Amino acid sequence: MRGGLWPELLDTIAAAPVLRHLIIKHMPWDGDDRDVYDFPPTLRLPPICELAYICPYTIDESRRHPYKTRRPPHMLESEVHNLRVVLRACHSSLESLMLPGELILRFLDASHRWTSLRELRLQGYWPYPAEMSLYSVLRLLSNLRIVSLRFESADEDSSLGGMNPIVSSVLSTQSDMFLRKLQTFELAPLVPSDRILSLLPPGLQKLSVIAYPFDIDVNCWYATYRYTSKTCCASDLLNIFSGVHYPAVTRLELWYRADVSDADFLFRLPEVFPSLRYLEVHRFTPYAMDDQWNPARTFQAVLPHFKKLRLFALEPDDPHRRHKITPRGMVPRNAKYIRRLRSIAEEMVFLTPWLEEIWISVRFANEVRWERWDIVSAPGENICLRSPCAAETLEPKICAILEGPLEDAESDPEPVHVV
């Protein structure tokens, strides 16, 4: 229903003897829709472990072409009221919470103890400043293990000067009190002045600095340009990572724009993340650096410094394919391009025989996928790449790489030859 939960469904939910997962997902509301239903102030619900409210934005249909926009005041007021009522009834049992980003600062009741909450996922428009900051909200949720923050700006946000940093400055006492049990942190976008990464605990295992939203145009190349406007440049990341160290992170995902500090930034990563087993890099180049889109030589020099790395994934920003509508499937043109990517992959792993897999992103028609190769090597033998069986699934292999026993490559590898 466009107005949300209707009374009969709410009564049914309240009468359920057991309800562990409540997922509310629907098409985005029309911003002019006045059909809303406010919950009564008190609500009886069975214990709920997971609450996912998936409606990150509304649709403005007043223009010729409908577009995404923020919630109007009457809708925002109703949703915040209803969320407060629901969370008041189930906060003691709630373990996982997913919400539209612009609601988070208005519904959270600081008087409640959120001791059971382990996972928080926010997506959609970034929250306007309110009585409570996002940093204060995260501090209240001290038992979180997983935090995912995927924010974007609305067209009308330009008057506000862009997104605000979650943490603008760091005090020496803050790091000991902030999300001490956190294991996974995902953020999009990372504002260059944000210092939140300096507060993440030493036990962090997975870090993702990504681009959002993931809208892909039908011709695919348009997505790259959306990403470049949503990501930090190498100079900013070099500055951000200059004062941090993550000894326990085994999985890192980075989306960034290359600039003059590209090589310095990439060589900094092995020092910040000495335990990486999985590294995924989405590297975009501005027009002025189109002749430097292929980072094979740089990664050939950087990868040997990751002594525990087992899987490397790269999305290169090939300027020759930005404006092309490529056909789907393995037609001759695509097969030729895959061979080119394979030669790039071979060059990058030339000095890293302990790697097990390498992936390179490729676009066909409106599909973006990973081309994957197993790395086959033995002492005294040449390195070669082998395409895995198509029936293999990715996630079990990733888990095996992240959790399996490892031996460090303490010494530099002997020179090898690519075949």
pLDDT digits (tens, 9 = 90+) for 121-170: 999 999 876 667 899 899 999 999 999 999 988 877 766 667 888 998 87
Range of the domain at 91: 1-143
Q: Distances from the Cα of 301 to the Cαs of 133, 259, 356, 380, in angstroms?
A: 42, 18, 17, 20
Tell whether 138 and 226 lie within a shared domain: no
What's the domain count of the chain? 2
Q: Distances from the Cα of 12 to the Cαs of 4, 54, 80, 101, in angstroms?
A: 15, 20, 22, 28
In order along the chain (419 residues), what is the average pLDDT of each group of 10 residues?
61 82 74 66 86 84 73 84 86 93 84 91 86 86 96 76 81 72 96 93 96 55 50 94 94 94 96 98 77 83 96 85 56 76 90 93 74 82 74 53 54 34
User: Would you tell me how many other CB atoms lie within 10 Å of the CB of residue 405?
Assistant: 4
403 exposed, middle or buried (CB, 10 Å; 0-12, 13-18, 19+)? exposed
- The domain boundary, picked from 112, 143, 174, lies at 143
Q: Which tokens hold the place of 2?
A: 């466009």
Tell whether 330 and 237 lie within a shared domain: yes
Tell whether 131 and 239 lie within a shared domain: no
Interatomic CA distance for residues 27 and 23, integer angstroms: 13
Task: Report if residue 158 sits inside a domain.
Answer: no
pTM of the model as a whole: 0.85
pLDDT for the residue numbered 337 = 81
Task: Report if residue 154 sits inside a domain.
Answer: no
Judge whether 154 and 124 are in contact, CB under 8 Å. no
- The domain boundary, picked from 115, 143, 171, lies at 143
pLDDT for the residue numbered 251 = 98
Task: Report if residue 405 sits inside a domain.
Answer: yes
Q: Which tokens hold the place of 299?
A: 């990664």
Interatomic CA distance for residues 228 and 222, integer angstroms: 10
- The domain boundary, picked from 109, 143, 177, lies at 143
Tell whether 338 and 214 lie within a shared domain: yes
